[in-house]
Structures are given as structure tokens and as C-alpha cells.
Amino acid sequence: MFNNDLTNLTMLVKNIESFIQQHSENAKLVYKVQLVVDEIVTNIIKYGYKKEEENTIIVNIRSFQNLFTITIKDNAKYFNPMEHTLPDLNKHKELKKTGGLGIFMTRQYVDKLDHDYQNGNILKIKIYK
């Protein structure tokens, strides 16, 4: 649990890295989980709240025999990443755009992504080991 401030993100990502490394020796898996959490939490902080609002984001990660589950809860405005239109990668490349691919990458790296809204967004993510 931490406040919606980007300065807290580095500590969160380091904690996730440590947790994943305790449960898997797969470096690619560590990278995937870190990237997914970083992208989602960054979007929550940057776009989910008004800048002057201080709120709490809860990130819970669990390890099971063959998978990691990650639950991210916030009380930001409604946003379901599964409803987000994916970018046209050819146009993106032609326009030489930087950024804007976080949700696309997240959806590529997770095995299952569910969204619910109950007084805030609840994202449930599964990534198999």
C-alpha cells in the first residue's frame, strides 16, 4: 500500500523484483511482472487522480506453484484496460511516437487480466511461471 506519488514507484518495483526472485529464477518473468505493475500503477497515478489528491493504491502479489497473481486496487476514476483500444503499431512506428504502448505491453505480458469496479478499480492479473 502506498500513496499515489510517482516517487513511491521505485520502491514498489524493487519490492516486486525481490518477491519474484524469491519465487522464480526466470529473469524474463521478473521483467514482465515489474513492467506490468509499473505500467499500470504509473497510469493510475498520472491519469486516475487529480494532481492535488492524495490517495492510496494497494498492490498485492502472491505466488502459487505455477503462477503469480497480482491485485491492484485504487479509488481512482473508472478505467478498464481491457476496454482500451489497442494502438495500430504500424501507424505508431510511422509517426515515430514514443510512449502510449503501456497498456498494449501489459496485455501482451499477462495471461489473464480481469477488471472490476467497486468504489474503485480492482485489477486481477495472472502471470504463469
Give the residue-averaged pLDDT of 103-116.
92
**Which distant-in-sequence residues (6+ apart) come within 8 Å of 39 by Cβ?**
102, 103, 105, 106
Kindly report the pTM of this predicted structure: 0.87
The pLDDT tens digits for 59-103 are 999 999 999 999 999 999 999 998 977 666 666 555 555 556 778
Domains of the chain in sequence order: 2-128 (3.30.565.10)
pLDDT of residue 93: 59
pLDDT of residue 90: 65
Q: Tell me which of 84 and 111 has the higher pLDDT.
A: 111
Give the residue-averaged pLDDT of 9-15.
92
The pLDDT tens digits for 33-49 are 999 999 999 999 988 98
Burial of 70 (0-12, 13-18, 19+ CB in 10 A): buried
| Contact between residue 39 and residue 101 where contact means Cβ atoms under 8 Å apart | no
pLDDT of residue 38: 93
pLDDT of residue 87: 64
